[in-house]
Amino acid sequence: MKLINSITKQEVKIGDTVISFRGEKYEVRSWSEPHHAGSTGRMYVKGDQYDRELYPAVFDCEFVD
């Protein structure tokens, strides 16, 4: 599976900067792909002060085959 930006359709890679729906910048550290059809997976990102685990939709991202 690939992680893509659902608006630009560009692939998101580790180390990329992503912007949340609140306008906050984060660096992509890793991710966890969805385990079943009802899951969206998770993105692990680093902000200015701390690391976070967030849904891909927070950054307009999604996993595709």
Which pLDDT tens digit goes with each residue over 45-58?
999 989 999 999 99
Domain with 54 in it: 2-64
Which residues are 64's β-sheet partners? 2
On whether the CB atoms of residues 28 and 15 are closer than 8 A, the answer is yes
Structural domains counted in the chain:
1
Which residue's structure tokens are 């976070």? 52
* CATH code of the domain in which 56 resides: 2.30.30
Which pLDDT tens digit goes with each residue over 16-65?
999 999 999 999 999 999 999 899 999 999 999 899 999 999 999 999 98
pTM score, two decimals? 0.91
Which residues are 5's β-sheet partners? 61
